[in-house]
Amino acid sequence: MTRALKTRVCELLDASYPILQTGMGWVATPELTAAACDAGAFGFLAAATIPPEEVEAAILRVKALTERPFGVNFLMDAPGADVISEAIIRQGVKAAGYNRAPSAELIQRLKDAGVVCVPTCGAVKHAVKAAKLGADIVIVQGGEGGGHTGNTPTSLLVSACVDAVSVPVVAAGGFHDGRGLVAALAFGAEGIAMGTRFLLTRESPVPEITTDRYLAASVDDVIRTTQIDGMPQRVVMNEFVRSLEGKGPGARLWLAFRNAFELRRITGASVPALLRSGLAMRKNERLTRAQTLLAANAPILTKRAMVDGDPVTGCLPSGSVTGMIEDRPTCDALVRRMVEEAERTLKALGA
C-alpha cells in the first residue's frame, strides 16, 4: 500500500487504513462497527443511544463479531458516562469517542488505562481545548457533516485545525470516496471519518424505507436547521421538518416534553438525571431554557426513522454528501474501492 495512506492514525488505532466509521446514534450498532473494522477501517460503536448498563453487552457483541480493535462513542455529560467509561476500560476497548462537554476527569481515567481518546470538534478553538485535555487524535467536522454540526466548511476547518494542534487530525464532513481521502491528506489531515457513507452500507441496520430517502435526496435536500432541538443540525428535509416550520413555541415545547419522557423510558435515566444533563448542556452550549427541553427531541425523533422505519414523522440526520451517494455497498467493498481510488489518485498526482 502507498506509504501516504499509513498515517499516525493507523498506528494509534491499529487500523489498516486511515478511515474511521463514526458513532452514529441508533446506526453504529455492533454489526456495523464490526463490519467496518473487518474491512480495514476503524469503527466506533454508538453508545449514546444505549442504556449505560447495557453498553458492556454491546461491547461484548462487537468482540464476538470481530477480532479487530474498535472504539466506543458516548456523551461525556450524559447520565451514566462514568458507567460507560468503566465498561470501556474493563473490556480493553481501543478508543473512546466523545464530543461536547469533555470531562477532564473521565479523559484522564481513560488515558491512564491506555484508551486512545478521539473527540470530535467543529471549531478550531474546540480542537485546541480537546488537545489540551489530552486527545490523542482530534476529529474535526465541517459544516457539511451529518447530525449536529458547526458552520465552518470542512475545506476551511481542516487545515486551520492541523495548524493549531500537534496531535493527528482526522477530517469529517462530506467524505465518501478515495479522492476525498487524498484531499484530506493534502489539507494535512491524517485520515477521514465518515458517518453518512457508512449509514448507507449493507451492514447498516437502517430500514430500506429510510435509506431510500437518503439515496433519493439531492445536496439541496439536505438542510441545516435549529428547529428540531435548538442546536444546528444537518438533516434530509422531510415532512416532519417541514411541519416544524409552521409550529409555534408552545407546540414545540409540548413535543419536547413528550420526547423527554420517551427518552427517559428508553434510557432509564431518572428525571433529575435528565435535567442535570440538560442543564450541563445548556451551560456548555449556551442554550436557552426552551432549547434545553427541545434537546431531548433529537434522539427519539432519529430513532423513529432509523429503528422504527418511519422517515415521514422521524428525523433523518445526514451529511450533504448523501446527495452524492447512489449505492449501498458492503463495508468491505466500500473501503476497498476507496483505498484503490486513493492509490490511483496519489499515483496520478505523483506523475
Q: Starting from the edge strand earliest in sequence, which strands make up the sheet with 222-225, in order?
A: 147-148, 233-236, 222-225
Name the one range near ligand FMN by CB under 6 A: 33-41, 63-71, 141-149, 253-261.
141-149
Question: Alpha-carbon dihedral of residues 140, 144, 150, 155, nearest 10 degrees?
Answer: 50
- Minimum CB distance to ligand FMN, residue 206 (Å): 8
Tell me the C-alpha distance between 36 and 298, whole Å: 25
Q: Which of 43, 278, 317, 323 binds ligand FMN (CB under 6 A)?
A: 317
- Minimum CB distance to ligand FMN, residue 269 (Å): 16
Instruction: Assess 145 for contact with ligand FMN (CB under 6 A).
Output: yes
Tell me the C-alpha distance between 228 and 338, whole Å: 34
Q: Which residues, including other chains, have CB under 8 Å from residue 186's CB and lie 6 or more apart?
A: none
Q: How many residues bind ligand FMN (CB under 6 A)?
A: 27
Q: Which of 43, 52, 143, 174 binds ligand FMN (CB under 6 A)?
A: 174
**Beta carbon nearer to ligand FMN, 12 or 27:** 27
Instruction: Assess 318 for contact with ligand FMN (CB under 6 A).
Output: yes
* C-alpha cell recorded at residue 274: 435528565
**Which residue of this chain has its Cβ atom nearest to ligand FMN in the complex?**
195
Q: Which of 15, 32, 41, 321 binds ligand FMN (CB under 6 A)?
A: 321
Q: Which of 172, 189, 236, 263 binds ligand FMN (CB under 6 A)?
A: 172
Instruction: Assess 255 for contact with ligand FMN (CB under 6 A).
Output: no
Tell me the C-alpha distance between 171 and 140, whole Å: 5
**Residue 171 is inside which H or E element, if any?**
strand 169-172
The dihedral of CA 12, 13, 14, 18: what is its sign?
negative
Residues that bind ligand FMN (CB under 6 A): 22-25, 27, 46, 48, 73, 99, 120, 141, 145-147, 172-175, 194-197, 199, 317-319, 321
